[in-house]
Amino acid sequence: MVATAITHWRKTRRLTFLLILFWILVTFGLTWFARSINEIVILGFPLGFYMAAQGALVLYLLIIWWYNRQMRKLDAEFGIEVDED
């Protein structure tokens, strides 16, 4: 039982750290490359505007969705039940 809990925790940490790394890359990557991204204009607005206003938020929601999906699979793999009340 202890080995199973350790393995579950290791996989949970790995998933969390990977998604945090992706979040950091999205957040700071958009900021770092803002000038080059803004050279692309859509409907009179620079692409950086769209990415800051909507694109990053959509990516953050996808990160949350992916985390939830993967954690459900991981919990099912290890037989951990979650109360969904």
Please, which pLDDT band fits residue 39 given cuts at 50, 70 and 90? very high
In the chain, domain spans: 2-77
Question: What SS3 class is residue 67?
Answer: helix
Whether the model pTM is above 0.95? no
pLDDT score at 85: 61
What mean pLDDT comes out for the span 27-47?
88
CA geometry: angle at 62 spanning 56 and 67, to 5°? 130
pLDDT tens-place string over residues 18-34? 999 999 998 888 888 88
Using a pLDDT cut of 70, give the percent of the chain over it.
96
Query: What rounded mean pLDDT belongs to the chain?
Result: 90
